[in-house]
Amino acid sequence: MQERIIGCTKCGGEMTRGQLNFVQVTATKGKGFFDGTAQSTVSCYVCPECGYCELYADKYKEFKK
């Protein structure tokens, strides 16, 4: 996976990729239980200047299918 360069929305500093263990996001597709689900691991980015954190789904395109 290509590293993202992300600017902090709070102070403008350059955010650094952190690590979250055992975090996953799941979304139900459609209206019924059997319509399927999309899953992705999550990456965390932390601003070393102010401590602000942001989370991003690594496989975000799975939620569009």
Nearest to 41 by CA among 54, 22, 18: 22
Residue 51: pLDDT band (50, 70, 90) is very high
Higher pLDDT: 36 or 64? It is 64
- pTM to 2 decimal places: 0.65
Q: Which pLDDT does position 29 carry in this prediction?
A: 64
In the three-class reduction of DSSP (H, G, I as helix; E, B as strand; rest coil), residue 62 is classed as helix
Higher pLDDT: 16 or 27? It is 16
SS percent in the chain: helix, strand, coil, step 5 = 10, 35, 50
